[in-house]
Structure 1
Amino acid sequence: MKNNISLHTVAQISVFIVLSFSFYLLFAGHNNPGGGFIGALMAASAIVLLYVSFDLKTIKNVLPLYYPYFIATGLLIAMGTGVSSTLFGYPFLTQFFQYTTLPILGEVELTTALMFDLGVFIVVIGIALLIITTIAEDDE
């Protein structure tokens, strides 16, 4: 592929914006529309934009990620969230929350739903990028 500086610059800026919105969707998902699934699809689309604008081999050198580990880690986090409530005698996937005061952010609500969404986020990123890179590697 030809070295297109304007495409690389626009892609890098767009990836930053899409990833920022992806993390917003992840953190807002337990109270508002969004969550781990749609946030992960946005993050995967940002990484696919990098793959398209640069090159599969270049991005694999910069981000040497093994996506099956993402899938396993996300499943452990999501299942661990559900199982942890049963350890305390509550039904599977019971949500707990706590309000905490952080130095810069002020009062913040911490929930177990956020940990479940994080697990789903990691699983979906791993699955989406594994499928896309596997298809892309077949073309080479």
Structure 2
Amino acid sequence: MNTLIFRTIAPFLAALMLVFSVFVLLRGHNEPGGGFIGGLIAASAFAIQGLAQGVSAVRRALKMDPLGIAAIGLLLSALAGFLPFLGAMPFMTGLWIDLNLVADTVPVSSVMLFDIGVYLVVAGTVTAIALALEEKETD
């Protein structure tokens, strides 16, 4: 699928999908959605970009190996699970702190850190699989 229309619209579509994936990630903190589905949407955006411009263009745009992204996500998720041990609480207990910003305080939780980790694990793993399949297809 190497048409002019697809190659022209793919970067815009991929950017829109990435923004939507972050929206789903943040919305899923309190409502349906979250890290898993947001990561799938992000990986789909990278796959579309790979179909339009080639795998090497996506790898250059990511600036990091997709499995490295997944490893960072796994580290963040594990960190969110083990943080409660510092306060003698059970594994995966939700922790909240208030960050004092210039205009207001913003609550931040370990649950959100876990969701971001899941997002990165899913996006990195599925992107690595999709790019590997696209490379095999072009051989």
Asked whether the two chains share a fold, i.e. TM above 0.5, the reply is yes
Pairwise mapping of residues 50-129 of structure 1 onto structure 2 (< 5 A)?
A: 50-103=49-102, 106-129=104-127
What is the alpha-carbon distance in structure 2 between the residues aligned to residue 49 and residue 87 of structure 1? 42
**Structure 1 residue 3, shift from structure 2 partner:** 7.0
- Percent identity, please: 31
Change (3 A) 1:85 1:3: same
1:133 corresponds, among 119, 131, 134, to 131
What is the alpha-carbon distance in structure 2 between the residues aligned to residue 3 and residue 72 of structure 1? 35
**Structure 1 residue 102, shift from structure 2 partner:** 2.9
Deviates more, 1:32-41 or 1:107-116: 107-116
Per the normalisation by structure 1, the TM-score is 0.86
What do residues 98-122 of structure 1 show as CA deviations (whole Å, max 9, x unaligned)?
3334336x44221111100111111
Runs of 4+ deviating beyond 6 Å: none
What is the alpha-carbon distance in structure 2 between the residues aligned to residue 2 and residue 22 of structure 1? 25
One-letter amino acid matched to 2:125: I
**Structure 1 residue 15, shift from structure 2 partner:** 1.4
What is the alpha-carbon distance in structure 2 between the residues aligned to residue 62 and residue 75 of structure 1? 22
What is the alpha-carbon distance in structure 2 between the residues aligned to residue 78 and residue 62 of structure 1? 25
What is the alpha-carbon distance in structure 1 between the residues aligned to residue 70 and residue 39 of structure 2? 12
SS, match of residue 131 in structure 1: helix
- Provide the aligned C-alpha RMSD in A: 2.0
Stretches of structure 1 that go unaligned for 5 or more consecutive residues are: none
What is the alpha-carbon distance in structure 2 between the residues aligned to residue 110 and residue 62 of structure 1? 30
